[in-house]
Amino acid sequence: MVEFVMPVATGITLVEVVGVEAVLPECQACQKGDLVPLSDFGAHGAPIHYKAWVCTNPNCGFNIKIRNGDVYLNEPIVSGEDHAPRTR
Ligand SMILES: [Zn+2]
């Protein structure tokens, strides 16, 4: 896991702010990857923050997401190679 610390100068004191990557929960399914939050956009362009959490381990693929108030576990992940870009 990449851990980065960003120094932020606040007047005379130097406060270290730990990046969000450092607090990602460990994947409980494989114990190797981290769960990263993914955001999406709604039908009218409204952002849907942290709609899905996905494991960073490609051999694991554990994911959990919420849709219309229901929580979905381990839905199949679409490979980017087969995914045709959306035409507008
Ligand atoms: Zn995992």
- Give me the residue spans of the domains in the chain: 25-88
pTM beyond 0.75: the answer is no
20 pLDDT higher than 60: no
In this prediction, residue 29 has a pLDDT band, given cuts at 50, 70 and 90, of very high
Whole-number Å distance, alpha carbon 74 to ligand 1 midpoint, is 10
CA 25 – ligand 1 centroid, Å? 11
pLDDT of residue 81: 77
Ligand 1 mean position to 41 CA, how many Å? Answer: 25
Residue range 19-23: mean pLDDT, rounded: 58
Closest by CA position to 63, among listed 87, 86, 40, 47: 40
Over residues 49-86, the pLDDT tens digits come to: 989 999 999 999 999 999 889 999 999 888 777 766 77
Task: Find the 47 Cα to ligand 1 centroid distance in Å.
Answer: 26
- Quick one: pLDDT at residue 33? 95
